[in-house]
Copies of this chain bind each other. A is one copy, B any other.
Amino acid sequence: MTIRDIADLAGVSKSTVSRVINNSPNVNEKTREKVMHIMDETNFLPSAIAQGLSRHYANTIGVLLPETGGPFFGKVIQGINKALIDTPYTILLCCTENKAEYEMRALDNLLQQKVSGILLTSSSDFCENESARRIRKTLNSFQVPIVLIDRALKNSMWGGVYSDNSAGAYMATEALIKKGFKKIGAFISDISLSIGEQRYKGFTQAMDDYGIPVEEEFVVTEKFPLSMHEVYLKTCEMAEAGNIPEAIFLGNGIIADGFYKAILEKGIAPGKDVHCVGFDYSQFLDIIHFPYSYLERNSVLLGETAAKLLLKSFSDLSGIRQEYIIPSALRLDGSLQ
């Protein structure tokens, strides 16, 4: 069933059917109704692929993410989906598993698929190696709009939607300072990525602003992602050396997991022996009434905002580069209020 068949059934030409499909105003009301009726009756749906070839772009949006298994990106997808559900666009999803090579291939793939736009959380981010450069080059040569999600891209020409990493880290650290703690530590990973860099900046900025010295034995930073187990081991070490601070900023959820696991084993009471603030809510800690302060970020909103920004850039071609920061709310448990 093609527009040819519909045209024959309606006794009109293909062009007219096409006009009806595309809501062209230049169609007689009677004709439009007749064609619509036949399309309804026959359950006709135009081939998106043929439309795509004709229009030079598909009504798909490429979504390129490092992973989907964790709690964060699943919610981001949910938000993107929410923003696209009443549009003609469908999500073309690629996961890079944080590998630059897969990212490169996925980008090529999206190019081939003639997506109308791209939502991207790059795996390369701040890396300076060869493949990262290639990726950035490819990105800058893209003919379609791109909106970055959660991770900025150095020297990029694209807008983006981000968590308020530095402000969040600042707020969290500030809360600890205001509570009167002097020995304040931090666990921050990915500082070679914008996301980690900013969280680290937020932390040190707050310490500086309040004149609290950053003591090295309480601060752990790592260029790359830290696994829960690595944090666990490192914390155990710190505990054995008597280096657990009065209060600590935990850079992300995985870090928090590893940290809590270790201190609980070592008999160090959270909210008492050590006061913690981290990124992201944990329902489980809530359930067991664990004293847990955190920065709540709205990941669904992040995805939704990014998708809307992309949609806007389709019609508004001014090309002005916009950035949105999705705020985090600081949720303090009783011991810090």
Q: Hey, which chain B residues are within 8 Å of A85, CB to CB?
A: 102
Interface of A is mostly: helix
A94 to B90, CA, bound (A): 7
Q: What is the chain B residue whose CB lies nearest that of A71? A: B71
**Chain B neighbourhood of A109, CB < 8 A:** 48, 90
State in angstroms the CA–CA spacing of A188 and B93 once bound together.
33
The residues of B that contact A113 with a CB separation of less than 8 Å are 48-49, 60, 90
Q: How far is the CB of A297 from chain B (nearest CB, A)?
A: 14
* B residues less than 8 Å from A283 (CB atoms): 228, 257, 284
Contact of A182 with B by CB under 8 A: no
Task: Please encode chain A, from 267 to 280, with 1 for each CB lying within 8 Å of some chain B CB and 0 for all others.
Answer: 00000000000000
A14 interfacial by beta-carbon distance below 8 Å: no
A63–B111 Cα distance when bound, in Å, is 20
A45-85 vs B, Cβ < 8 Å mask (1 yes, 0 no) = 11111101100001010010001111101110110010001
Q: Is the pair B287, A108 in contact by a Cβ cutoff of 8 Å?
A: no
In the bound assembly, the distance between CA atoms of A244 and B289 in angstroms comes to 21
Quick check: B45 and A111 within 8 Å, CB to CB? yes
CB-nearest residue of chain B to A91: B93
- Contact across chains for B77 and A68 when beta carbons are under 8 A apart: yes
Q: What is the minimal beta-carbon distance from A251 to any residue of chain B, in angstroms?
A: 17
For A46, give its contact among B47, B58, B112, B264 (CB under 8 Å).
B112
Nearest-Cβ distance from residue A76 to partner chain B, whole angstroms? 9
B-contact bits for A251-266, CB 8 A (1 contact / 0 none): 0000001001100110
Give the CA-CA distance A92 to B78 in the complex, in Å: 14
Complex contact B290–A261 (CB within 8 A): no
A234 to chain B, nearest CB (A): 16
In the assembled complex, the Cα of A14 lies from the Cα of B43 at a distance in Å of 37
Name the contact of A264 in the complex, choosing from B52, B68, B102, B289 (C-beta under 8 A).
Answer: B289
Q: Are A90 and B92 in contact (CB under 8 A)?
A: yes
Q: A45-B112, A63-B93 are in contact. List 18 more A-B contacts (CB 8 A).
A: A47-B53, A47-B112, A47-B114, A49-B49, A49-B52, A49-B53, A49-B58, A49-B114, A68-B74, A68-B75, A69-B74, A70-B74, A90-B93, A90-B109, A90-B113, A91-B93, A93-B93, A288-B290
Ranked nearest first, the 6 interchain pairs of A and B with the lowest CB-CB distance are A284-B284, A74-B74, A69-B78, A48-B112, A49-B52, A68-B77
Q: Using CB atoms and an 8 Å cutoff, list the residues of chain A in contact with chain B.
A: 45-50, 52-53, 58, 60, 63, 67-71, 73-75, 77-78, 81, 85, 90-95, 97, 102, 108-109, 111-114, 228, 257, 260-261, 264-265, 282-290, 300
